[in-house]
Structure 1
Amino acid sequence: MKKPLIDMKNIRKTYANGSLEVEVLKGISLTIDQGEFVSIIGSSGSGKSTLMNIIGCLDTCSLGEYLLDSKDINSYTEKELAIVRNEKIGFIFQKFNLLAKLNCYENVELPLIYRCMETQERRERVLKSLEMVGLSDRLKHRPSEMSGGQQQRVAIARALACAPPLILADEPTGNLDSKSSNEIMNILIDLNRKGVTLVLITHDNDIAELAHRIIRISDGEITSSIDCKRGM
């Protein structure tokens, strides 16, 4: 029996808007097993990005329980949450979030420097991660010297270098052409097959259907959870 990596119960999130309070998440309960690939879909304003931010420890819930790898995230301090983000979660964003002044190698190395990792181990991890995404020949290229698809592969390598059990991908193919999108999804699917838990936000139904399960969110609530052919 698989062990849950993510276990959320009755998650609520409320933001203050002047004198008004806006409830964005309205009692989300969600379990994602280790090694699962889950797509989260929903229209703009549905709450899916807020949910992703809470899963990724970039934000905290107003009410509810969140266990990540059996640890009570709600009890963590900001410093402890930063450690969790660095060690347990890899982030991939639509806009790549690469530093323009750093080259390919340096962008992938940066989170390992924050972890105070020894130079030799950093080098081994960076080179291995870039090899996995097919960019061993682009080590000294800066983001402006690479295509969108190559920049996204750098972002994936950066996430991989920390060897996280969980990768969160927020519209990772949103700025890419169809060929680059297919390449990125093939890399992510291969990572999932190797045991990495993958949570993907997307507006693209075809991409969502590559997952084991599709979770649809509307108006801050889960309206459906559907198993896909790949997960059967």
Structure 2
Amino acid sequence: MALYSSGGAMLTIYDQKQLAAEMTAKGDTPKQQLLDQWGKNRIAPTNPGDVLAVEHAENKVSWMQDGVAQNMPKRLNKKEWLFEVTDKGYRLLDLNQMVFPALTFENHTDPSKVEQVVRNEVAKQQTSVKVESIDMPDLKTVGKKKIKLKVSQASVAKNNQRIAYVYEIPIEVTEGSLSFVQMPKVIDFGSVRIDGKRIEVPRVGDQSTMTIKVRDGRSRKTSWTLDVQQQSPLTDSKQRTVKQSLLFFP
């Protein structure tokens, strides 16, 4: 069990600089020895806006308010309980109750795309929290890594203070591959009059939609080629075959 206190605008749970009191116990720790850890005269002074973090390996946590035992709700994070100190007693926080699915990305994935996946998951699970920061690991190398996500919610007991919690989201960065980022469905050359002479026909229309883009997400960069094949011969308006050779370089 740990008590965190902040004199500033942000209280970050598990920030050792904001740790006000702490006590730990094993299964055979005497009760009196446990209580002796909780400050002078076994009292840890608190202020509205402080946060009490309670962890129990077997999820055996009870909670009294105004002398009445409170119903313990079902929790996704069963071993960690967070309470804000208020003038009316303890307020149970759900800041630590998000669960993130297994995330896998190819190496060299754009970090902004990974960040958006994380933000979307936060928005889906908890609309009341604010994303403070997302620290990305190296996405260029393959392996198991962690994203550090810091979220916060407003304090009820203390104006102009937010309570923050840091998640470590495991991800796996896998070997990338060659893939098309953009492949045009139509390449338009317009209507062209052919008179038997050699001509160069430019593309018409929005050139940005006719560009072929290839992404190389491999760790070991080796040379590669892109081959194209004409599936049917060129024809004119009367369906007569154009027999001349044609080379097109996108």
Q: Using structure 2 for the length normalisation, give the TM-score.
A: 0.27
Larger radius of gyration: 2
Q: Which has the higher contact order (CA 8 A, sep 6+)?
A: 1
Q: Which structure has the highest helix share of the two?
A: 1
